[in-house]
Structure formats: C-alpha cells, structure tokens
A and B are shown apart, each in its own frame.
Chain A
Amino acid sequence: MTGLPIAVVGASAAGLAAAETLRRSGWRGPLTLIGDEPHLPYDRPPLSKQLLHGAWAPEKLLLRTTDQLAPLDLDLRLGTRATGLDVATRTLTLDDGTELACAGVIIATGVAARTLPGADRIAGVHTLRTLDDALALRSRLAKGGAPGSEGVAAGGRGLRLVIVGNGVLGCEAAAVARELGHDVTLVGIEATPMAAAVGTEVGELLAEEHRARGVRLVTGAVAGFETAPADPADGGDPRVTAVRLAEGAAPSGGAPGGSGETAPGGGRLLPADLVLVAIGSRPAVEWLDDPALDTGDGLRCDAYCAAAPGIYAAGDVARWDHPVHGRPLRFEHRMNATEQGMAAARNLLAELAPSAPAGAEEAAPAQERRPFAPVPYFWSDQYAVKIQAYGLTAGADRVETTVVDRAERRVLALYGRDGSAVGVLIAGLPPRQVRALRAVVAAPLPWEEARERIAAATAPG
C-alpha cells in the first residue's frame, strides 16, 4: 500500500472539505483531487443569488485561492473526469486514459441538473448548476431584451423569462430576475412553490411574496418548446419563443392578466425570450458501474459514509444510513457537503490507519470510525426573505405552521413524522432564537415536547 494516493473525486464543497480534512488529520501520502470542471473549487449557493444578480464577480465564489490550496500539496487534476472505479483494487479510470491505483477513494461528484428532452439543442433554454451555467444565464439577463439595449438596468425592456420548476432553485432565480426587472413566469407541477421541500403553508407564504413582487405563478406540466429558426449570430440552434404546457394547465390564482395563448395542437403557450429549466437533479453516479456499488438514488453508504471497503462518499451524491433518523438519507444542502466531506475523510483515515503506517501520522493514535450523524441544515434567500431549516422538512406527515407576521413573512414551522418532531423551519426570527431551535430537532422528539421547547426558545425576552 505504501505510496498509493488517496483520491477525492469531485472538486467542489464536499471534495475540498475531504481533502483539507485528510491533511489536517495527518495524511502525508499523495493526495489527488479530480474535478471535471475547469475551475478551482467554488461555491454554488451564490450562483442563483449574488452571482446571477451581478452583485458578485465569479472570483468571489472561489472556496480557496491558489495560495490557500498550496499547503495541501494536492495533485490537482481539473478538467478531468473519472470514468470508472474498480472497487476491489480501488483503481480509478480517468478520461485522459490514466489508471490510478489508490489507497482509498472519496466520491464527491454531487448531482447534475436534470433537463427536458431536446432542451440542450435550443438556444435560450438554460439550466443552473455550474458556474458556466450561471454566467451564461447572467449574461442574457444582464443584456435584457431590446435589440441593442444596454440591459434592463439601463432602461432596456425586460425579458420574458419562463422558469420551469418551482422548487428552491426556481424560486431563487425568479426572485433575482424580478429584482433585475424581467417579466417572470414560474411554472410548476405542484400548485405551491417549494411545497415538496417545506410543505404547502410555508410554500403559500412564499407564493404570496412572489406574487407581490410580480411573478406570475402557473401550475402545469411542460410538454415542450416552440422555437424560431436560428439567428446566425447565435450559432446553429433554433431559438426558444415559448414554453408549451400540457393540456389542462391553469394559472394558480392571482395571475395578472390572462397570459399565454393556445398552441395549434392544444395546450397553453407561455411566450418566452429565455427559459430556465430547474426541475431538480440526478446524482452523478453514471460513471460508477462496479456492481459492488449500489447507485440506486445516489451512492448508497453505511452509517460511516462507506460504500465499500476503502471507498467513501460525501455531499449531494451520498445516500447514507443516518444513525439518528434510522433510514438512508441524501441531502442537497451546502452545509452537509462540508460536514460529510470531513466525516468521510476521518473515517477513511481511521480505516486505513492500521494498514498504511507509511501514509498516516505515525505518532497520532488511530481514530475510531464514527457514524455520521449531523443535524441537517439548509437556507434559501428570496428577495429579503431568508429561510433556514434544521432537521428534516421534506417528507413530513405533519406540519404545524405559525405565521408570526404575514406581511413581514415571519414564520416558524415544525415538521413531524411517525409521531415525532423531526424538522423546524424559520424565517424572519432573531439569530439567537434560530440557533436555539437547532437543539429541538437534533434527534426526533415527541411532538408535544418539541412544541413546548419551541415555545420556550421563541418566547420574547
């Protein structure tokens, strides 16, 4: 085993956290970080917020500068994709033909944006997952609609932007596009935005905010796109002119003016200069074809984040047995990427320690592997509304929502499952109270007890 590297696949939040933790925890052997994007590790949450808005330059998203990476002594392979992994020999195959035998592997390949059939060959239809995606969308939003105009900010006409998908990402992008002065229609199969993530009552509160800001909310399934012949300046692809909804789609209340017309073949048309498809993601596991791995919905791991001996996973790609919640869970939350990257790195080192004295710190006693048991956390920013949630808010069978101040969109919601409280969501409460609520759902708690503790934590004074 002497001299073999640990390889981390995926050079983003989880992969970087894993690499840094490996070094901090004493790995002195070679360390390879492989990422298929050409960029240094950068942060994704600002892509749909400050970057899309134009408030931040791309450099601000870098998680580490070159100088900060230097002490890690990484064999950093950017623009390189892992195409295979042989679990028994821990050998990675890379798209440049390299075969890399490893002491251990941490898989942090995240998820990729889902899209609609044919969408990638239509100009003006975008997804939003990577920096390059966000820069492409931002440059269209910044230019605005009128030919030759300097953009909306300079008085140009707003674009007609149709966002397909009313989940967290679609809602954040809608908020930014409205703030930039564009004409925004948010289409979802669910009548209530973000309902799957936060339940219908909190979703309805957010819907009110979007409507108040002028976003048109439409319920319906998208059947396809209408296009116009390619503009030579755009390259060869036809350009989108409208989003076609399946028959039976209806506006979901409060839509100003009847928007859209009927397509020749039936079904409503939503005219569009620009489309964002934000219909979720799929775990980047297609390159993992070793039958020893279960890649059903993400890479299946045990409570230690191990998918197989010496093979660990972290971040959006990993579905692991949460020891406290007692079932396999996978999160697409920024906080989890870091925490799980750290946990996977520590557990891999603990596993390797007895067998790889050459790489591990000789003096440091071998750490025990520990189950990864975080309190999940996520946030979202839309307009001035900041949503924060601890624990599990999706998949609840019981939600109790307390609207503290409807106009100010202040809300507190408790989420339950099988009789226990498992998640809490907050908007517009003071930070101290928000932090105190974390402890309430750190582990499933009897519902009534959770309610009492929340009342105590949010009591004035």
Chain B
Amino acid sequence: MKITLDADKCCAAGQCVLIAPEVFDQRDEDGVVVLLDAAPPAAQHDAVHEAAAICPAAVIEVHA
C-alpha cells in the first residue's frame, strides 16, 4: 500500500487521525494533515481505507 495526499485540499477535520493515528497527524498551526507513514504495514490497511473513504475533502489517495 502506498498513500499520497493532496494536502492543499485538507479542511483539517482530523477524522483521519481519529481513525488511523499511526499513519496520519495534523500540523499544530493549522490542522492540515501530515503523513507519518506513506507505506504502512498490513495491520493498518483497513484503517487507512476507512480514513480515505471518510475524509470529507477527498485528500487521501490509496494506491494498491
């Protein structure tokens, strides 16, 4: 799995961090998403898919 972000679009909702805190974080200044792990281990994959699906700004793209 490989993750890319279009962080420009991030509205700082923080849902990704709630769902997958090992993979995503937010910048302290403005809450914009930060990628902690662009190629997370299998144990994280479900959470990452869920975060990508729920993100209200379509920021997170997951590649196989």
**B-binding residues in A (CB < 8 A):** 13, 17, 20-21, 24, 43, 45-46, 60, 63-64, 334-335, 337-339, 342, 377, 379, 381, 386, 388, 430-432, 434-435, 438
| Bound complex: CA A342 to CA B17 (Å) | 19
| Beta-carbon contact of A435 and B12 below 8 Å | no
Main SS class of interface, B: loop
| Bound complex: CA A377 to CA B57 (Å) | 13
Q: With contacts A43-B58, A45-B11, A435-B26 known, what are 10 further pairs, Cβ within 8 A?
A: A17-B53, A20-B53, A43-B57, A63-B58, A64-B58, A335-B15, A338-B56, A381-B11, A431-B14, A431-B31
Q: How far is the CB of B4 from chain A (nearest CB, A)?
A: 12
Residue B9 interfacial (CB < 8 Å): yes
Residues in chain A near residue B57, CB distance under 8 A: 43, 45, 334
Q: How far is the CB of A17 from chain B (nearest CB, A)?
A: 7
Shortest Cβ distance from A49 into B: residue:
B11
Enumerate the 3 nearest inter-chain pairs by beta-carbon distance, A residue then B residue, closest first: A431-B26, A431-B31, A334-B56
| Bound complex: CA A338 to CA B54 (Å) | 6
Contact of A438 among B18, B53, B56, B58 (CB under 8 A): B18
Residues in chain B near residue A334, CB distance under 8 A: 56-57
| Bound complex: CA A434 to CA B27 (Å) | 13
Interface bin, chain B = 20 to 34
| Bound complex: CA A46 to CA B10 (Å) | 11
Contact of B53 among A342, A388, A430 (CB under 8 A): A342
| Beta-carbon contact of B12 and A431 below 8 Å | yes
Contact of B28 among A20, A45, A381, A431 (CB under 8 A): A431
Residues in chain A near residue B9, CB distance under 8 A: 46, 60
| Beta-carbon contact of A379 and B18 below 8 Å | no
- Most chain A beta-carbon neighbours within 10 Å: one of B26, B31, B55: B31
Binary interface profile of B, 5-44, with partner A (CB < 8 Å = 1, else 0)?
0000101111101100000001110110000000000000
| Beta-carbon contact of A430 and B28 below 8 Å | yes
| Beta-carbon contact of A339 and B54 below 8 Å | yes
Contact of B12 among A21, A338, A339, A386 (CB under 8 A): A386
